[in-house]
Amino acid sequence: MPLEKPYANIPGTTVFDADQSRKGYHLNMFAFSLMKAPNRERFKANERAYLDEWPMTEEQKQAVLARNFNRMIELGGNIYFLAKIFATDGKSFQYAAALMTGMSQEDYLQMMINGGRPEGLKKLSGAQHG
Amino acid sequence: MANITAGVASSHVPAIGAALDLGKTQEPYWAKVFAGYEFSKRWIAQQKPDVVFLVFNDHATAFSLDFIPTFAIGCAESFAPADEGWGARPVPVVQGHPELAAHIAQSLIQSEFDLTIVNKMDVDHGLTVPMSLMFGQPQAWPCKVIPFAVNVVQYPPPSGKRCYQLGKALREAITSFDQDLNVQVWGTGGMSHQIQGPRAGLINKEFDTNFLNQLVNDPETLSLKPHIDYVREAGAEGIELVMWLIMRGALEKQVKEVHRFYHIPASNTAVGHIILENPETN
């Protein structure tokens, strides 16, 4: 019997469940490894070579190289793990969130100061998907 | 005997820690956040807790996907601030209370809450940011801390009801410890926020306001709120709010609300903060 997923229809949202976790195990464990400074150095020196040390899929590696966080999430990435990637780049959660919504960081910052996503709980329209 | 005197809840946004560590607290954007904690710092200086039982979630820092404990209690002598990828925060090492932690672990497990016991753990912003907000930037933290990590990384986290019930068992555990200690229970995380995918930036002030009101006056009903309501209405990461119910469950039915603060935004998040005192027991 498949897992029950009452959260599957929430727009613009991927819930990190057991299926995603299984799919993203190596991607997330790669990101986790970046919490050690020497690993960050090696990754920055040659991203592709570092990624090739991990049994990730080619799609996952490409998404990392392109810093396409929506795609990484689709491929099993979890945001708290992926945070180690943008932290390694010296970027903040707000930078990454803006990127995932397809907005400039300035526009995103202003949207948050104005009280957050204006369409609230209504269905998203026109947002970038991957 | 140990006594639970108060509960504190607060968001634990990492950018708040960064703003503090980089000396940006006077910038208008951040000053509005820190202003909400001025009362709290004075209050806690008077309260002088001996121990804080601090409920937080690990953000893929101490626990990778290799181990995902639903409830984990920190029983170590001390806990170092973690390097989350930016380098460790320049904050003091957190001193634990292994004796009380072991007593709580035994008591909760015998009350059928099957905890994971952790004897070595670095603590991330989920724990250190609330400490900074409440205590500022001291050379050493003025109290001991028992870190209590709740899984909210991989779905499903424990239910609100389970967290609330655990809080009640926690009250029994703490108050049966035979040392005179002033103990506070903190719940952290939230409020509404989503930091992933195209819906990032979601904030729901109405949800948050209702949550705060119910937390104070009707936690029993609040504890029945299903996960899906949090995820849909408070954002994928708003689910962290279930942790506040552990704090509330550890307090008496009637509590005194001594402080409340709500502000949008800090980075991607609505900041919520509340202080609840137990009635005097003397």
Same domain, A101 and A77: no
Could you say which of A81, A101, A115 has the minimum Cβ distance to residue B200? A101
Q: Is the pLDDT of residue B282 over 60?
A: no
Q: Are B242 and B157 spatial neighbours (Cβ–Cβ below 8 Å)?
A: yes
Boundaries of every domain in chain B: 3-277
Structure token pair of residue B215: 């937390």
Q: Cα distance from A94 to chain B (closest Cα, Å)?
A: 6
Roughly how many angstroms between the first and final C-alpha of chain A, as a whole number? 30
Whether the pLDDT of residue B281 is over 80: the answer is: no
Strand-pair partners of B9: B187, B274
**Residue pLDDT, tens place only, B33-69:** 999 999 999 999 999 999 999 999 999 999 999 999 9
Q: Is B125 annotated as catalytic?
A: yes
Q: Across residues B223-240, what is the average pLDDT?
A: 95
The confidence score (pLDDT) of residue A122 equals 60
Domain with A48, as residue range(s), is 18-91
Helix (H) or strand (E) holding B101: helix B98-110
- Which residue of the set B103, B125, B259, B263 is catalytic? B125
Nearest Cα to A76, choosing from A22, A130, A9? A22
Supply the pLDDT for residue A3.
80
Please check whether the domain covering B3-277 is classified as CATH 3.40.50.1980. no
Q: How far is Cα B33 from Cα B173, in angstroms, rounded to an integer?
A: 34
Q: Please check whether residues A23 and A87 belong to one and the same domain.
A: yes
pLDDT at A118: 79
pLDDT given for residue A120 in this prediction: 63
Q: Are residues A111 and A53 in the same domain?
A: no
Residue contact A121–B264, C-beta within 8 A: no
The pair of three-digit structure tokens given for residue B71, joined into one six-digit string: 């409830």
Contact B154 A88 (CB under 8 A): no
Cβ-contact B210, B272 below 8 angstroms: no
ipTM reported for the complex, 2 dp: 0.94
| Average confidence score pLDDT of chain B | 96
Whether residues A115 and A80 share a domain: the answer is no
Taking only the tens of pLDDT, chain A with its 130 residues reads: 778 899 989 999 999 999 999 999 999 999 999 999 999 999 999 999 999 999 999 999 999 999 999 999 999 999 999 999 999 999 999 999 999 999 999 999 999 999 999 776 665 544 434 3
The C-alpha of A68 sits at a distance from chain B's nearest C-alpha, in angstroms, of: 11
A82 shares its domain with A115: no
DSSP structural state of residue B196? S
Residue at A10 is within a domain = no
Q: How many domains does chain A have?
A: 2
Q: Do A121 and A60 lie in a common domain? A: no
Q: What is the DSSP letter of A97?
A: H
B193 catalytic? Reply is yes
The per-residue pLDDT for A129 is 40
Per CB-CB distance under 8 Å, the chain B contacts of A116 are 192, 201-204, 264-265, 270
Residues A77 and A103 in one domain: no
Residues A114 and A66 in one domain: no
Interface of B with A (CB under 8 A): 14-15, 18, 29, 59-61, 64-66, 82-87, 153-156, 192, 194-205, 227-228, 231-233, 236-237, 264-265, 267-268, 270
Q: Determine, for residues B85 and A112 on separate chains, whether the beta-carbon distance falls below 8 Å.
A: no
pTM exceeds cut of 0.90: yes
Mark whether A77 and A22 lie in a shared domain: yes
Same domain, A72 and A23: yes
Distances (CA, A) of B118 to B8, B122, B219: 23, 10, 29
* Distance separating alpha carbons of residues B80 and B66, to the nearest angstrom: 21
